[in-house]
Structure 1
Amino acid sequence: MTSRTDDRSWITLHRLALVLAVMTFGLIVWGGHVNSTRSGMAFPDWPTSNAAPMLTYHPSEWLWQSDRFWEHGHRLYASVVGLVTVVLMAFTLRATPSERRGGWTILAIDTAVFLTVATAIVGINSMPSVFTELVMAGLAILMAIFFTKAVRSQDIVRIHWLSQAAFAGVCLQACFGGYTVRNNLPDWTSTTHGMLAEVFLITILGIVYLTSASYRAGTVRNTLSAGTRKLVMATWLVTVVQFFLGALTRHTDAWGVSMVWPAWSETEFFPTADLWAYSQVVIHFVHRTMAYVVAAMIILQVVRYRRGTTIMAALLVGVQIFLGAAILWTYRGELVTTLHVMTGVLLVVLNTFTMFSASSAAAPQRRTVATSPDLGVGRAVQS
């Protein structure tokens, strides 16, 4: 097999992962708009929509009604993302030598996951809720196992386990979506649903990065100090935590407990002592305060590690704080609220790529592309 063929295979895998990442970004923003427009319960049933099969639900029933359009469109969009995830998993499964991916065992696991999830989805309306909950718990455990294997692996095998984690994650996300609707949008499931989307996106971004030409060529230079790497990792972590706090603020309606910015009220800069007894006040205040922490760390990050992603993050974080304040000024205007979600996702994406880059810079080995007749694609090896 020629190196040119290997390069084309890597490029195909990279492009497939990139397309999935872009689609996932759009899906998260779309899901945010479902929440912004209060469209989450446009249909009280799932996986059907008004008792009609999702894929055959007549367009005239949902295209021209705002809440149905956003919710049903979200469901259809998610189905396409799930399909592309399966294609990505199949591609990496085929590219990984059998002995390095667990042989037929992993195929049996994937088949069992698919059949179990399909059974849970089809029978969600008639089965006890505990069955769906057990399926979701099993998928979460499976994701954790696959992530652990990915961390301990190298080259195409690491990508293989990340794609397996993505497959388990998209199945878990589908179950959570249906479970959330079936239980009338409880705060904890809605928030978890949003965070799972972020975990899934970060997983796909990992595949995008590992299949990129710069990573495979080993062009990342080992020039970062340990302190800078720790700063980058901490910045990424607080950004993800802030996204979680934002999701919690949205889904608990904690955004409206203070309608003034930057002070808490017209007369007080901080919440008064009697307000701290309310969870919504605590959530809102922590989310608002964490925004300044994230901003400070992103600015410090761009000073210590100047690159395209850190500069863009530094520019966007100011926009994000403005949009957060604008939500209060517009009384949770739909467009402003969705833009706030979109910018939050962009910050996670930028800081994730920065974290990947800084982590790679910590490794002194150089990666080269080797040809293996067993792989079907080139594989990165340490030299």
Structure 2
Amino acid sequence: MAETVHRAAEQDSPWPHRLALLTTVATFPLLFVGGLVTSTGSGLAVPDWPTTFGYNMFLYPWSRMVGGILYEHSHRLIGSAVGLLTIALALILWRKESRPWLRWLGVVALGAVIAQGVLGGLRIVLLQQTLAIIHACFAQAFFALTASLTLFTSAEWKERPVKKLTADAGRVQRLGLLTVGFIYLQLVCGAVLRHTGEWLDMHLLGAALVAIHVLLLAARVCRNQADLPVPCCNSGWGWAHTLASLPFLARS
């Protein structure tokens, strides 16, 4: 009996959600500083990796962080902090989360942040522009993953009402997946444009496709999910909840 109560308390722990939220919040400035690295041409301001001018990355003197070194080294430090948070998140999910798929999603996040760090380092060591593009695209995917973990660990997600399957649930799901695909394709085109100056036409076409499909999806979701406790048309959190639910509509 005591063991059952202990497990129930673990399952209701707020810490997985808090840590997922903290990881997501920390990842956003990492993306921003990464963009500054590209915009200022500071990607190779620090020519070695994983060291910084021969120093242990965490012991590099703050007084020498000037110019491009400031952007690049700050990016590394914030990335390290996000990596540590992701390790902690994966551990706490494995320890306290009762849903197996969510525990493994934490492991996926851990693998993703490791891969992202290695990609960033190899871009410096190998001087490959292609790796810079992959690094940029993968960063957005990792941010989406941390945001999803924040949603999946929230009380609102756990307590969401069971929805009856609507007549066009499959169509909504396909439209949602297609919209996400176009959004990510737009990110890829943007990364190629920023790093090479190419694919401007593709980027503009992608923007149009994203705008059209987001509007179509918004109209269909609002029509089909109008009875949600938090109306999707009036709440950003409701929108996130609804869009994240799309892959699970068939099982609702």
| Alpha-carbon distance, 1:200 to partner | 1.8
Alignment check: 8 A CA contact 2:152 2:158 kept: yes
1:52 alignment partner, one of 47, 51, 55: 55
| Alpha-carbon distance, 1:8 to partner | 4.5
Alignment check: 8 A CA contact 1:236 1:352 kept: no
- Larger RCO (alpha carbons 8 Å, 6+ apart): 1
> Amino acid of the residue matched to residue 28 of structure 1?
L
| Alpha-carbon distance, 1:95 to partner | 3.0
Question: What stretches of structure 2 of length at least 5 have no aligned partner?
Answer: 226-230
| Alpha-carbon distance, 1:182 to partner | 1.1
Alignment check: 8 A CA contact 2:36 2:71 kept: yes
Partner of 2:228: none
- 1:173 is the counterpart of 2:174: no
The higher radius of gyration belongs to 1
Partner of 1:151: none
TM (normalized to structure 1)? 0.57
Alignment check: 8 A CA contact 2:90 2:103 kept: yes
Deviations 1:92-120 (A, max 9, x none): 22236xxxxxxxxxxxxxxxxxxxxxxxx
Distance in 2, Cα, partners of 1:56 & 1:94:
33
- 1:304 is the counterpart of 2:216: no
The 1:91/1:169 distance shift into structure 2, 3 A limit, reads same
Partner of 2:184: 240
> Amino acid of the residue matched to residue 248 of structure 2?
S
TM (normalized to structure 2)? 0.85
Distance in 2, Cα, partners of 1:220 & 1:178:
45
Distance in 2, Cα, partners of 1:310 & 1:45:
49
| Alpha-carbon distance, 1:362 to partner | 3.1
> Amino acid of the residue matched to residue 208 of structure 1?
T
Runs of 4 or more above 4 Å deviation: 307-313, 349-354
Question: What stretches of structure 1 of length at least 5 have no aligned partner?
Answer: 97-154, 255-279, 314-348, 365-383
The number of residue pairs the alignment matches comes to 239
Deviations 1:182-231 (A, max 9, x none): 122x2210011112212222222232222121221132534652222221
- 1:69 is the counterpart of 2:76: no
Report SS of the residue matched to 1:305: helix
Report SS of the residue matched to 1:160: helix
User: Sequence identity, in percent?
Assistant: 29
2:101 alignment partner, one of 158, 175, 197: 158
After superposition, residues 108-119 of structure 1 pair within 5 angstroms as none
Partner of 1:287: 203
Distance in 1, Cα, partners of 2:121 & 2:102:
29
The 1:243/1:353 distance shift into structure 2, 3 A limit, reads farther
Alignment check: 8 A CA contact 1:239 1:294 kept: yes
Partner of 1:94: 95
After superposition, residues 1-383 of structure 1 pair within 5 angstroms as 1=5, 5-6=9-10, 8-9=12-13, 11-62=14-65, 65-95=66-96, 156-184=99-127, 186-219=128-161, 221-222=163-164, 224=166, 225=168, 226-252=170-196, 254=197, 280=198, 283-306=199-222, 354-364=242-252
Alignment check: 8 A CA contact 1:236 1:355 kept: no
The 1:241/1:221 distance shift into structure 2, 3 A limit, reads same
The 1:158/1:164 distance shift into structure 2, 3 A limit, reads same
> Amino acid of the residue matched to residue 286 of structure 1?
M
Give the alignment's Cα RMSD to 1 decimal: 2.6
Alignment check: 8 A CA contact 1:220 1:361 kept: no
> Amino acid of the residue matched to residue 31 of structure 1?
G
The 1:196/1:210 distance shift into structure 2, 3 A limit, reads same
| Alpha-carbon distance, 1:70 to partner | 0.8
> Amino acid of the residue matched to residue 80 of structure 2?
S
| Alpha-carbon distance, 1:353 to partner | 5.5
Distance in 2, Cα, partners of 1:7 & 1:89:
15
